[in-house]
Amino acid sequence: DSGVTQTPKHLITATGQRVTLRCSPRSGDLSVYWYQQSLDQGLQFLIQYYNGEERAKGNILERFSAQQFPDLHSELNLSSLELGDSALYFCASSVDAQGLNYGYTFGSGTRLTVV
Amino acid sequence: AQKITQTQPGMFVQEKEAVTLDCTYDTSDQSYGLFWYKQPSSGEMIFLIYQGSYDEQNATEGRYSLNFQKARKSANLVISASQLGDSAMYFCAMREGWNYGGSQGNLIFGKGTKLSVKP
């Protein structure tokens, strides 16, 4: 167990639907990062939150949104789902906003299948 | 823009032999961090080794070492004495936009190298 908890582990849903992926960071970590891993795009950075505030945005679609709550857990919301959104979604956490002290811890991922 | 290149989509190595996985990077930052991760077929991302741009010595962690050549912008992973359990995808990554006082710390990843260890 890495200390980063992602739920659910697997999710199957239909096109056009909306889903929420949840991430609880490792205890003491303030930063949360979301990544998408697909066969054609590889591992893509989506968004970073630090202590409740958005810190950086990557290749995140407008149909996707995220937030970090006061208890530091984070949720990634994916709406109007398309077949191409099928991917493995990772959450990672770090103590600080810059991942210093090489402290990134990854969760085991949520595998999303859109049918 | 910062970029990571892994030119070997797949590699084979005989058990107990050493193998080098290539990684080159492109950045204009003076301070940066380089990482290697292992992803077995089960899917989780496992941290292997880290090299800071100002570290004078190559990083080592057990059977893993990082051959860091700053002038050539390469950060190759060397696995000594390969084991069957080393069969996995290996990703090279760089911390993006990092500098003291900077605001973000996300990683950018290469496409990965699939390593297969033969018995």
**What does the pLDDT average to over B49-58?**
91
Interchain CB distance below 8 Å, A33 and B111: no
Q: Please, which pLDDT band fits residue B94 given cuts at 50, 70 and 90?
A: very high
Which residue of chain A has the CA closest to B100? A98
Q: Please, which pLDDT band fits residue A101 given cuts at 50, 70 and 90?
A: low
Of A25-39, B34-48, B55-69, B100-114, the poorest mean pLDDT is in B100-114
Chain A closest-CA separation from residue B98 CA (Å) = 6
In sequence order, what DSSP letters do the residues of A27-93 get, joined into one string?
TT--EEEEEEEETTTEEEEEEEEETTEEEEE-S--TTEEEEE-TTS-EEEEE-S--GGG-EEEEEEE
Residue of B44, B97, B111 with shortest CB distance to A42: B111
Interchain CB distance below 8 Å, A45 and B106: yes
**What does the pLDDT average to over B51-59?**
90
A5 touching B, CB under 8 A? no
**What does the pLDDT average to over A59-69?**
95
The pLDDT assigned to B100 comes to: 46
